[in-house]
Amino acid sequence: MSYPKLTAKLPEKESSNAKNYGNGKETISTYNIVVLNKKDKTMPMKDLITCRFYMGRSRSASVVYCSVWVHHEKCYTSGTGNAGGYGYHKESAALDEALRSAGVKLSRSINGTGETEEALKAVAAACGFRKMLVVRN
């Protein structure tokens, strides 16, 4: 299925809602959006967006938790979200909620669509970056 291109709008007011679930939950994947930092010659690359996904450690865990941090000089914001249940892409649903918690507005919902990387790239584009490297662990 093809969706219209995603765009994002940064919040007018910064938010600090993200949580590091690392002590109580298992990290299942991490995305880092790295961009060229033209303003600082000593550090040419910059980690613009960090996004982590977690799940409980029990075998019956089904809820995916997401925390996202946007480290931009004009707008530092962060948020958290989660998604449970079955039958859809929970990482993108949790990211959709985390971005809303951070005040970031996407042009359309990515809830369950699997467009995790596309959404993070849209946020980086809203920060003014066109060239970026996506590092996924």
Query: Do the domain assignments include residue 3?
Result: no
Domain count, the chain: 1
Instruction: Report the alpha-carbon distance of residue 110 to residue 96 in Å, rounded.
Output: 6
Looking at the chain, the whole-number percentage of residues with pLDDT higher than 70 is 99
Instruction: Determine which helix (DSSP H) or strand (DSSP E) holds 48, and give its type and residue range.
Output: strand 45-55
- Give the pTM: 0.92
Identify the domain containing residue 105 by its residue range.
8-136
Query: What residues contact residue 120 under an 8 Å CB cut-off, 6+ apart?
Result: 31, 33, 49, 51, 68, 95, 134
- Please, what sign has the CA dihedral across residues 115, 91, 30, 39? positive
DSSP 57: S
pLDDT tens, position by position, 20-76: 998 999 999 999 999 987 777 787 889 999 999 999 988 888 899 999 999 998 889
